[in-house]
Amino acid sequence: MTSRTGAEIQLDEVDLGPGVVAGFTDRRGGVSAIPYASLNLGAHVGDDPRAVATNRDRLATHLAVRVAFADQVHGTHVVEVAGADALPDDVLAPVGTGDALVTSADDVALGVLVADCVPVLLADPEARVVAVAHAGRRGLLDGVVQAALDAMVARGAVAGRVRAAIGPAVAGASYEVPTALRDEVAAVVPATAATTAWGTPALDLPAGVEAVLRSAGVSHVVRSVRDTRDEEDLFSYRREQRTGRFAGVVRLV
Protein backbone atom coordinates (compact mmCIF):
# COMPACT_ATOMS: atom_id res chain seq x y z
CA MET A 1 0.00 0.00 0.00
CA THR A 2 1.26 3.47 -0.89
CA SER A 3 0.06 6.90 0.11
CA ARG A 4 -1.00 9.41 -2.53
CA THR A 5 -2.15 12.98 -2.01
CA GLY A 6 -4.48 14.83 -4.36
CA ALA A 7 -7.28 17.36 -3.97
CA GLU A 8 -6.37 17.43 -0.26
CA ILE A 9 -7.35 13.76 0.08
CA GLN A 10 -5.08 11.11 1.56
CA LEU A 11 -5.76 7.85 -0.30
CA ASP A 12 -3.92 4.71 0.77
CA GLU A 13 -3.87 2.92 -2.58
CA VAL A 14 -3.89 -0.82 -3.18
CA ASP A 15 -2.99 -2.69 -6.36
CA LEU A 16 -6.01 -4.56 -7.68
CA GLY A 17 -4.62 -4.94 -11.17
CA PRO A 18 -4.44 -2.97 -14.43
CA GLY A 19 -7.30 -0.62 -15.16
CA VAL A 20 -8.39 -0.44 -11.51
CA VAL A 21 -7.92 2.37 -8.98
CA ALA A 22 -8.58 1.38 -5.38
CA GLY A 23 -7.73 2.54 -1.90
CA PHE A 24 -8.82 3.73 1.51
CA THR A 25 -9.27 7.23 2.83
CA ASP A 26 -8.48 8.31 6.38
CA ARG A 27 -9.84 11.22 8.40
CA ARG A 28 -7.50 13.86 6.91
CA GLY A 29 -8.23 16.31 4.10
CA GLY A 30 -11.82 17.32 4.75
CA VAL A 31 -13.78 20.20 6.24
CA SER A 32 -15.84 18.58 9.00
CA ALA A 33 -15.53 19.93 12.53
CA ILE A 34 -14.76 17.98 15.70
CA PRO A 35 -15.76 15.21 16.47
CA TYR A 36 -16.05 14.43 12.74
CA ALA A 37 -12.80 16.11 11.77
CA SER A 38 -12.05 16.17 9.08
CA LEU A 39 -12.84 13.93 6.08
CA ASN A 40 -16.08 12.42 7.31
CA LEU A 41 -17.87 10.80 4.36
CA GLY A 42 -20.84 9.44 6.31
CA ALA A 43 -24.11 11.34 5.86
CA HIS A 44 -25.89 9.50 8.68
CA VAL A 45 -23.78 10.27 11.76
CA GLY A 46 -24.94 13.78 12.74
CA ASP A 47 -22.35 15.83 10.87
CA ASP A 48 -23.21 19.06 9.05
CA PRO A 49 -24.61 17.88 5.67
CA ARG A 50 -22.82 20.73 3.89
CA ALA A 51 -19.48 19.52 5.24
CA VAL A 52 -20.17 15.93 4.21
CA ALA A 53 -21.18 17.08 0.73
CA THR A 54 -17.93 19.03 0.40
CA ASN A 55 -15.94 16.03 1.59
CA ARG A 56 -17.63 13.74 -0.92
CA ASP A 57 -17.03 16.28 -3.67
CA ARG A 58 -13.34 16.34 -2.77
CA LEU A 59 -13.18 12.56 -3.01
CA ALA A 60 -14.95 12.65 -6.36
CA THR A 61 -12.45 15.23 -7.62
CA HIS A 62 -9.58 13.04 -6.50
CA LEU A 63 -11.00 10.00 -8.28
CA ALA A 64 -12.23 12.02 -11.30
CA VAL A 65 -15.69 10.40 -10.98
CA ARG A 66 -18.55 10.49 -8.50
CA VAL A 67 -18.66 7.85 -5.80
CA ALA A 68 -21.73 5.67 -5.20
CA PHE A 69 -22.54 4.97 -1.55
CA ALA A 70 -25.32 2.71 -0.27
CA ASP A 71 -27.54 2.94 2.79
CA GLN A 72 -25.70 0.24 4.76
CA VAL A 73 -27.87 -1.87 7.08
CA HIS A 74 -25.60 -4.81 8.06
CA GLY A 75 -27.27 -7.08 5.52
CA THR A 76 -26.22 -8.99 2.41
CA HIS A 77 -28.08 -7.24 -0.40
CA VAL A 78 -25.93 -6.21 -3.38
CA VAL A 79 -26.81 -2.97 -5.18
CA GLU A 80 -25.98 -2.97 -8.89
CA VAL A 81 -24.74 0.43 -10.10
CA ALA A 82 -25.31 0.91 -13.82
CA GLY A 83 -23.11 4.00 -14.04
CA ALA A 84 -22.94 7.69 -13.22
CA ASP A 85 -26.36 8.35 -14.76
CA ALA A 86 -27.89 6.02 -12.15
CA LEU A 87 -26.66 8.11 -9.22
CA PRO A 88 -29.02 10.48 -7.39
CA ASP A 89 -28.50 14.18 -8.06
CA ASP A 90 -27.96 14.73 -4.32
CA VAL A 91 -24.41 13.71 -3.46
CA LEU A 92 -25.60 12.72 0.02
CA ALA A 93 -28.32 10.37 -1.20
CA PRO A 94 -27.58 6.63 -1.28
CA VAL A 95 -27.74 4.76 -4.57
CA GLY A 96 -29.75 2.06 -2.81
CA THR A 97 -30.02 0.05 0.38
CA GLY A 98 -27.50 -2.74 0.85
CA ASP A 99 -24.07 -3.64 2.11
CA ALA A 100 -22.36 -4.37 -1.18
CA LEU A 101 -22.12 -2.61 -4.54
CA VAL A 102 -21.09 -3.94 -7.95
CA THR A 103 -20.49 -2.30 -11.32
CA SER A 104 -18.96 -2.78 -14.74
CA ALA A 105 -19.13 0.95 -15.51
CA ASP A 106 -15.99 3.07 -15.71
CA ASP A 107 -17.67 6.43 -15.06
CA VAL A 108 -18.41 5.81 -11.38
CA ALA A 109 -16.54 4.68 -8.28
CA LEU A 110 -17.97 2.41 -5.60
CA GLY A 111 -17.58 3.32 -1.94
CA VAL A 112 -18.03 1.52 1.37
CA LEU A 113 -18.27 3.47 4.65
CA VAL A 114 -16.73 2.16 7.87
CA ALA A 115 -15.52 3.08 11.34
CA ASP A 116 -14.42 -0.37 12.66
CA CYS A 117 -16.26 -2.77 10.32
CA VAL A 118 -14.25 -4.30 7.49
CA PRO A 119 -14.18 -2.52 4.11
CA VAL A 120 -13.65 -5.03 1.29
CA LEU A 121 -12.65 -4.05 -2.26
CA LEU A 122 -12.86 -6.57 -5.10
CA ALA A 123 -11.84 -6.45 -8.77
CA ASP A 124 -11.51 -8.72 -11.79
CA PRO A 125 -9.47 -6.59 -14.19
CA GLU A 126 -9.99 -9.02 -17.08
CA ALA A 127 -13.78 -9.14 -16.76
CA ARG A 128 -13.83 -5.40 -15.99
CA VAL A 129 -16.03 -5.68 -12.92
CA VAL A 130 -15.50 -4.30 -9.41
CA ALA A 131 -17.34 -4.52 -6.11
CA VAL A 132 -17.22 -3.38 -2.49
CA ALA A 133 -18.61 -4.94 0.67
CA HIS A 134 -19.29 -3.71 4.20
CA ALA A 135 -18.45 -6.65 6.45
CA GLY A 136 -19.45 -6.18 10.05
CA ARG A 137 -19.95 -9.11 12.37
CA ARG A 138 -23.53 -9.78 11.25
CA GLY A 139 -22.84 -9.23 7.56
CA LEU A 140 -19.83 -11.53 7.64
CA LEU A 141 -21.88 -14.30 9.24
CA ASP A 142 -24.80 -13.85 6.88
CA GLY A 143 -22.61 -13.91 3.75
CA VAL A 144 -22.16 -10.37 2.46
CA VAL A 145 -18.67 -11.11 1.14
CA GLN A 146 -19.90 -14.15 -0.78
CA ALA A 147 -22.86 -12.14 -2.08
CA ALA A 148 -20.55 -9.47 -3.50
CA LEU A 149 -18.36 -12.11 -5.12
CA ASP A 150 -21.39 -13.89 -6.56
CA ALA A 151 -22.61 -10.63 -8.06
CA MET A 152 -19.26 -10.19 -9.77
CA VAL A 153 -19.33 -13.74 -11.13
CA ALA A 154 -22.79 -13.07 -12.53
CA ARG A 155 -21.20 -10.23 -14.50
CA GLY A 156 -18.44 -12.41 -15.93
CA ALA A 157 -15.81 -12.42 -13.19
CA VAL A 158 -13.92 -15.58 -12.24
CA ALA A 159 -13.21 -16.07 -8.55
CA GLY A 160 -9.68 -17.24 -9.22
CA ARG A 161 -8.93 -13.99 -11.06
CA VAL A 162 -10.50 -11.68 -8.50
CA ARG A 163 -8.16 -9.49 -6.49
CA ALA A 164 -9.23 -8.40 -3.03
CA ALA A 165 -8.17 -5.73 -0.56
CA ILE A 166 -9.21 -5.84 3.09
CA GLY A 167 -8.95 -2.37 4.56
CA PRO A 168 -8.36 -0.96 8.04
CA ALA A 169 -10.75 -2.28 10.69
CA VAL A 170 -10.86 -3.03 14.38
CA ALA A 171 -8.26 -5.74 14.98
CA GLY A 172 -8.64 -8.97 16.88
CA ALA A 173 -6.26 -7.61 19.49
CA SER A 174 -8.77 -4.80 20.21
CA TYR A 175 -12.25 -6.20 19.52
CA GLU A 176 -13.29 -7.61 22.89
CA VAL A 177 -16.54 -9.59 23.00
CA PRO A 178 -18.21 -12.00 25.41
CA THR A 179 -17.02 -15.59 25.20
CA ALA A 180 -20.42 -16.78 24.00
CA LEU A 181 -20.42 -14.30 21.12
CA ARG A 182 -16.90 -15.23 20.06
CA ASP A 183 -17.87 -18.90 20.05
CA GLU A 184 -21.06 -18.22 18.10
CA VAL A 185 -19.22 -16.34 15.35
CA ALA A 186 -16.27 -18.75 15.27
CA ALA A 187 -18.65 -21.67 14.83
CA VAL A 188 -19.51 -20.21 11.42
CA VAL A 189 -16.17 -18.57 10.51
CA PRO A 190 -13.45 -20.23 12.63
CA ALA A 191 -10.75 -17.74 11.59
CA THR A 192 -12.50 -15.00 13.56
CA ALA A 193 -11.65 -16.50 16.96
CA ALA A 194 -9.13 -14.26 18.70
CA THR A 195 -7.84 -12.93 22.00
CA THR A 196 -7.33 -9.28 22.88
CA ALA A 197 -3.94 -7.85 23.75
CA TRP A 198 -5.05 -7.99 27.40
CA GLY A 199 -6.08 -11.66 27.24
CA THR A 200 -9.88 -11.59 26.86
CA PRO A 201 -12.11 -13.16 24.17
CA ALA A 202 -12.16 -11.26 20.88
CA LEU A 203 -13.15 -11.40 17.24
CA ASP A 204 -10.80 -10.88 14.30
CA LEU A 205 -13.17 -9.88 11.54
CA PRO A 206 -10.46 -9.08 8.94
CA ALA A 207 -9.08 -12.62 9.39
CA GLY A 208 -12.60 -13.95 8.93
CA VAL A 209 -13.07 -11.98 5.71
CA GLU A 210 -9.77 -13.26 4.35
CA ALA A 211 -10.71 -16.85 5.18
CA VAL A 212 -14.07 -16.49 3.44
CA LEU A 213 -12.43 -15.03 0.33
CA ARG A 214 -9.80 -17.74 0.12
CA SER A 215 -12.35 -20.51 0.62
CA ALA A 216 -14.30 -19.02 -2.30
CA GLY A 217 -11.23 -19.30 -4.55
CA VAL A 218 -9.83 -15.78 -4.26
CA SER A 219 -6.08 -16.24 -3.89
CA HIS A 220 -4.86 -12.65 -4.38
CA VAL A 221 -5.75 -10.96 -1.07
CA VAL A 222 -3.99 -7.97 0.49
CA ARG A 223 -4.89 -7.08 4.04
CA SER A 224 -4.23 -3.89 5.99
CA VAL A 225 -2.63 -4.23 9.40
CA ARG A 226 -4.06 -0.91 10.59
CA ASP A 227 -6.27 -1.10 13.69
CA THR A 228 -9.00 1.55 13.67
CA ARG A 229 -9.36 1.49 17.45
CA ASP A 230 -5.72 2.45 17.94
CA GLU A 231 -5.06 4.85 15.04
CA GLU A 232 -6.32 8.41 15.48
CA ASP A 233 -6.03 9.06 11.73
CA LEU A 234 -8.91 6.61 11.28
CA PHE A 235 -12.48 6.90 12.53
CA SER A 236 -13.45 4.34 15.17
CA TYR A 237 -16.90 3.94 16.68
CA ARG A 238 -15.56 1.69 19.42
CA ARG A 239 -13.05 4.36 20.44
CA GLU A 240 -15.21 7.47 20.11
CA GLN A 241 -18.87 6.48 19.53
CA ARG A 242 -19.75 9.89 18.06
CA THR A 243 -17.49 9.97 15.03
CA GLY A 244 -17.30 9.98 11.24
CA ARG A 245 -16.78 7.36 8.58
CA PHE A 246 -13.86 6.77 6.24
CA ALA A 247 -14.22 4.88 2.97
CA GLY A 248 -12.85 2.16 0.80
CA VAL A 249 -13.23 3.06 -2.88
CA VAL A 250 -12.68 1.27 -6.18
CA ARG A 251 -13.22 2.21 -9.82
CA LEU A 252 -12.44 1.04 -13.32
CA VAL A 253 -10.36 3.33 -15.55
- For the chain, the domain total comes to 1
Per residue in 204-214, pLDDT (tens digit) is 999 999 999 99
Given this model, what pLDDT does residue 191 score? Answer: 98
Per residue in 65-113, pLDDT (tens digit) is 999 999 999 999 999 999 999 999 999 999 999 999 999 999 999 999 9
Query: Which three-class secondary structure string do you get for the chain?
Result: CEEEEECCEEEEEECCCCCEEEEEECCCCCCCCCCCCCCCCCCCCCCCHHHHHHHHHHHHHHHCCCEECCECCCCCCEEECCCHHHCCCCCCCCCCECCEEEECCCCCEEEEEECCCEEEEEEECCCCEEEEEEECHHHHHHCHHHHHHHHHHHCCCCHHHCEEEECCECCCCCCECCHHHHHHHHHHCHHHEEECCCCCEEECHHHHHHHHHHHCCCCEEEECCCECCCCCCCCCHHHHCCCCCEEEEEEEC
- Determine contact, residues 60/88, Cβ cutoff 8 Å: no
Given this model, what pLDDT does residue 37 score? Answer: 95
Given this model, what pLDDT does residue 209 score? Answer: 98
Average per-residue pLDDT for the chain = 95
The domain that holds 124 is classified in CATH as 3.60.140.10
Given this model, what pLDDT does residue 2 score? Answer: 36
Identify which has the larger pLDDT, 130 or 7: 130
Per residue in 99-155, pLDDT (tens digit) is 999 999 999 999 999 999 999 999 999 999 999 999 999 999 999 999 999 999 999
Average of per-residue pLDDT across 49-57: 97
pLDDT of 240 above 70: yes
Given this model, what pLDDT does residue 7 score? Answer: 42
Which pLDDT band, with edges at 50, 70 and 90, does 10 fall under? confident
Per residue in 158-177, pLDDT (tens digit) is 999 999 999 999 999 999 99
pLDDT of 1 above 70: no
Which residues constitute the domain of residue 29? 2-252
Average of per-residue pLDDT across 11-22: 97
Which pLDDT band, with edges at 50, 70 and 90, does 9 fall under? confident
